[in-house]
A = this chain, B = another copy of it.
Amino acid sequence: MTTTSERRPPKLTAKGRATRERIVSAAADLIYEHGVHNTNDEKIRAIAGVSGSQMTRHFPTKESLVRAVLQWQAEQIVTDPRIPEGRLDSLAALRLWADTFVAAREALHGGCTFGSLAAELIKGQPSHRSAIADGFERWQELFLRGLTAMRERGELRAEADPAALTHLLAAAFQGGMLLDQAAGNTTPLRDALHGALDYVESFTPQP
């Protein structure tokens, strides 16, 4: 499938790459704040400080820009410095991850940077489906890798299913983020993550 973004010139100069990055970053911030449908070219250009023709050269359509934002947000969540070296391979690391995100109150502000965008787009724009699937998969890899390592080291019993536990943790996070935004407090996310982690902990070997 040839997509609009794949038709852009493969080689950008350093300046071109910087301009493109500035546009995507501005678009990501605005979309996170207001949603895709309340974000338009003019607002993005004003924040990124680029002209209409620069904007069009990099992103001929809104769809191509939104796809770039999806990819950018996916990259941000898997390289989030709050998950040091992307390692979630101990109960302590998983609990720190949960507490960090509950405390950050992103849930109240605008939810998961990637998940909230995915939820807004998934139904209306089938063309974004694969970028959404890829992003969630890359993110869930962090849990899968960590839980698998824990089982291999004997920190989880053999009957623990890292893939199933990954789905529980990921769903608790995404659902909790949505419920928090609705409720206006971080109790749903906190309860959901703590419950999911207590369940993971139930697979530690009995002394």
Contact = CB atoms under 8 A, between A and B. Distances in A.
Contacts of A192: 167-168, 170-172
6 A-B pairs with least C-beta separation: A175-B175, A171-B175, A35-B124, A171-B192, A119-B119, A174-B175
Most B C-beta atoms less than 10 A away, residue of A118, A132, A192, A199: A192
Number of copies: 2
Given A38-B124, A168-B195, A170-B179, 9 more contacts: A119-B178, A120-B123, A120-B124, A123-B181, A164-B194, A171-B172, A171-B174, A172-B172, A174-B179
A16 to B, nearest CB: 31
Interface in A176-204: 176, 178-179, 181-184, 187-192, 194-196, 198-199, 202
Contacts of A59: none
10 contacts: A35-B125, A118-B178, A119-B119, A164-B195, A167-B191, A171-B175, A171-B189, A171-B191, A172-B192, A174-B174
Contacts of A164: 191, 194-195
A146 interface: no
Interface of A: 33-38, 110-111, 115-116, 118-120, 122-125, 129, 132-133, 136-137, 161, 163-168, 170-176, 178-179, 181-184, 187-192, 194-196, 198-199, 202
A175 B125 CA distance: 19
A168 B198 CA distance: 11
Nearest to A32: B123
B123 A111 contact: yes
Contacts of A111: 122-123
Given A116-B123, A124-B37, A199-B198, A176 B171 contact: yes
Contacts of A132: 182
